């Protein structure tokens, strides 16, 4: 990632401009101040990807998801998003496209490059390109014009290659109409929900508890914990230019720690108190740290005794150094028996609900009438209103698997192949009715549908092109990096 501003930047205009150009360097990996310090994490046909370049793209993706999801972005969501792989794939794809553009002998003229740079708002003063501002902004970002122009040239080369790939892709009126019919089609369902929570007074014997614990030991594992010593450079210690000055101080202290290899040496270099945490797991909490998730993630990304770069949190900059790690371990059953009993009871309830749902579906497929089967088994049948392929299902909520199954049903196939597990329990579905799209509504939505469909076709074309490049390329990733 780019080494940030030089100390004590004077101009607000320059500080604002820096944010507008950083993304270019992050994507293309140009001019990283600590590139020589970062470890290589991957090779793309011999071209290296450094850890600091990866960190820049990763941080940008994290910030994007934080803005989009806010507090809903928890550890489970982060694991499902697999942001680490997203970031690395993004850099690898850029490398492959640039290498292919070079192989195909694409060229960017000096005139094209200049016209592109002069349109960057970060280099404008009073609405026009200012050469002096251009030089100053780059200098404050510790970039030379040559480095920035090389980055821009690479970007333009890839743009030209993408233009070649995408130039012939169009969406016809017929395609738009088919897409419209697919999007606007609606269905409704009858369904019976088997809730595990409805099965009360589940019995269990000691042998079952022991067997369940033995099969699910990993679930009760006490996770790896880490103990960290850290320095805090708080914003409150500075006045008007708190964040800028705090960053400058953090950078000075980091350099001292990095050279010495030990955070404790900063006590003399920066006259700061070295704090020490108790051992904590990856998910936190960390006593005394407000933003414990980011603090903990940074700590776990470091090797033992490795010094972190300054980590910006809401109250200041932190420099971390893990000093001890406790391995994961399985506790004795006695210690977690209450939790095991609860989990076993829920598992038994779940099995009973699934078993009854599967029997009901089997009866329906065997010819039992829906209403008769519901009445004879004293079940409660429900119906939905019409719903589309996206959004929530009336009476049910957001259940993508149910929605997908619903659109596969028809009068000739009224039941799905299997019961469907949803958030509330197991669902047995029956096709009720279908509502086709009205041709009258096409004109109002044609432009939007064409735009969306064109984007999908373009994404598919680029995806196929990249898949072809990957297939014939040599890509190696550091062992264990994506774990």
Q: Which domains does the chain have, with CATH numbers?
A: 12-168+463-477 (1.10.4030.10), 186-218+333-435 (no CATH), 222-326 (3.10.50.40)
CA end-to-end span of the chain, whole Å?
21
- Residue in 421, 420, 396 with CA at minimum distance from that of residue 408: 420
Residue 277 is classified by DSSP as: P
pLDDT given for residue 261 in this prediction: 73
How many residues are given for the chain? 483
- How far apart, in whole angstroms, are the C-alpha atoms of residue 250 and residue 229? 15
Residue 222 is classified by DSSP as: B
pTM of the full structure = 0.60
- Residue in 186, 185, 183, 187 with CA at minimum distance from that of residue 445: 183
Tracing tokens 């829906």 back to the chain, one arrives at 370
- Read off the pLDDT of each residue in 258-287 and give the average, rounded to a whole number: 79
pLDDT digits (tens, 9 = 90+) for 405-456: 999 999 999 999 999 999 999 999 999 999 999 888 888 888 888 998 899 9
Confidence of residue 271 (pLDDT cuts 50, 70, 90): low
pLDDT digits (tens, 9 = 90+) for 23-68: 344 444 444 434 444 478 999 999 999 988 898 889 889 888 888 8
Token pair, residue 210, equals 């022991």
- Read off the pLDDT of each residue in 372-388 and give the average, rounded to a whole number: 94
Task: Please check the confidence at residue 357 and state whether its pLDDT lies above 70.
Answer: yes
**CB contact at 8 A, 137 and 18:** yes
- Read off the pLDDT of each residue in 370-393 and give the average, rounded to a whole number: 93
Helix axes 442-471, 145-166, angle to 10 degrees: 110
pLDDT given for residue 17 in this prediction: 42
- Read off the pLDDT of each residue in 369-376 and give the average, rounded to a whole number: 93
Tracing tokens 């991957």 back to the chain, one arrives at 42
Phi, psi of 73 (to 5 degrees): -80, 85
Burial 365-383 (b: 16+ CB within 10 A, else e): eeeeebeebbeeeeeeeee
pLDDT given for residue 20 in this prediction: 43
The CA–CA distances, whole Å, from 103 to 153, 273, 293, 466 equal: 15, 55, 44, 15
Task: Please check the confidence at residue 2 and state whether its pLDDT lies above 90.
Answer: no
Residue 347 CB burial class (10 angstroms; 0-12, 13-18, ≥19): middle
DSSP helix/strand/coil, 360: helix
Task: Please check the confidence at residue 8 and state whether its pLDDT lies above 60.
Answer: no
What integer best gives the mean pLDDT of the chain? 86
Q: Is the bond into 349 cis (omega within 30 degrees of 0)?
A: no
Tracing tokens 């280099």 back to the chain, one arrives at 123
Helices (H), 129-241: 131-140, 145-166, 173-184, 206-215
Residue 303 is classified by DSSP as: P
pLDDT given for residue 239 in this prediction: 56
- How far apart, in whole angstroms, are the C-alpha atoms of residue 372 and residue 235? 71
Task: Please check the confidence at residue 260 and state whether its pLDDT lies above 80.
Answer: no
Token pair, residue 402, equals 């149910």
Task: Please check the confidence at residue 276 and state whether its pLDDT lies above 50.
Answer: yes
Tracing tokens 């007074």 back to the chain, one arrives at 201
Q: Lowest-confidence range among 236-250, 310-324, 441-455?
A: 236-250
- Read off the pLDDT of each residue in 302-325 and give the average, rounded to a whole number: 91
Token pair, residue 142, equals 């510790």
- Read off the pLDDT of each residue in 325-349 and give the average, rounded to a whole number: 95
- How far apart, in whole angstroms, are the C-alpha atoms of residue 138 and residue 14? 9
**More reliable by pLDDT, 250 or 167:** 167
pLDDT digits (tens, 9 = 90+) for 150-189: 989 999 999 999 999 998 899 998 998 998 899 999 999 9
Helix axes 442-471, 83-103, angle to 10 degrees: 80
**CB contact at 8 A, 33 and 140:** no
Tracing tokens 């589309």 back to the chain, one arrives at 388
């Amino acid at each position: 990632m780019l080494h940030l501003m030089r100390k004590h930047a004077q101009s607000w205009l320059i500080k604002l401009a820096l944010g507008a150009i950083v993304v270019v360097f992050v994507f293309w990996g140009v001019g990283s101040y600590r590139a020589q310090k970062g470890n290589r994490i991957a090779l793309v046909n011999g071209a290296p990807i450094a850890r600091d370049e990866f960190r820049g793209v990763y941080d940008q993706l994290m910030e994007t998801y934080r803005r989009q999801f806010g507090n809903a972005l928890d550890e489970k969501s982060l694991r499902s998003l697999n942001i680490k792989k997203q970031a690395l794939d993004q850099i690898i794809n850029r490398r492959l496209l640039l290498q292919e553009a070079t192989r195909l002998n694409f060229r960017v003229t000096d005139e094209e490059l200049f016209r592109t740079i002069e349109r960057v708002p970060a280099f404008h003063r009073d609405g026009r390109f200012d050469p002096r501002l251009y030089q100053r902004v780059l200098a404050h970002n510790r970039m030379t014009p040559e480095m920035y122009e090389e980055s821009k040239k690479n970007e333009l080369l890839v743009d030209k290659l993408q233009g070649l790939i995408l130039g012939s892709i169009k969406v016809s009126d017929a395609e738009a109409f088919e897409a419209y019919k697919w999007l606007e089609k609606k269905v409704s369902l009858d369904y019976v929900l088997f809730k595990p929570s409805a099965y009360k007074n589940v019995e269990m014997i000691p042998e079952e508890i022991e067997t369940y614990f033995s099969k699910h030991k990993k679930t009760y594992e006490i996770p790896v914990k880490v103990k960290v010593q850290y320095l805090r450079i708080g914003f409150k210690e500075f006045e008007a230019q708190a964040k800028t000055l705090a960053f400058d101080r953090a950078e000075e202290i980091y350099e001292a720690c990095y050279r010495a290899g030990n955070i404790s040496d900063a006590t003399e270099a920066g006259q700061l108190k070295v704090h020490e945490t108790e051992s904590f797991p990856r998910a936190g909490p960390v006593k005394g740290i407000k933003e414990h998730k980011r603090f903990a993630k940074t700590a776990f990304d470091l090797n033992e005794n490795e010094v972190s770069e300054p980590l910006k949190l809401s109250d200041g900059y932190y420099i971390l150094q893990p000093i001890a790690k406790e391995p994961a371990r399985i506790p004795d059953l006695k210690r977690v028996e209450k939790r095991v009993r609860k989990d076993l009871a829920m598992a038994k309830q779940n099995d009973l609900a699934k078993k009854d749902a599967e029997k009901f579906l089997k009866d329906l497929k065997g010819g039992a009438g829906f209403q008769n089967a519901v009445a004879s088994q004293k079940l409660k049948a429900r119906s939905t209103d019409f719903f589309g392929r996206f959004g929530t299902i009336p009476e049910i909520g957001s259940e993508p698997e149910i929605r997908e199954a619903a659109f596969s049903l028809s009068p000739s196939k009224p039941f799905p192949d299997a019961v469907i597990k949803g958030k509330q329990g197991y669902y047995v579905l029956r096709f009720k009715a279908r509502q086709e799209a009205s041709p009258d509504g096409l004109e109002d939505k044609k432009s939007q549908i064409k735009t969306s469909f064109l984007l999908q076709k373009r994404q598919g074309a680029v995806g196929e092109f990249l898949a072809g490049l990957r297939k014939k390329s040599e890509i190696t990733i550091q062992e264990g990096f994506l774990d």
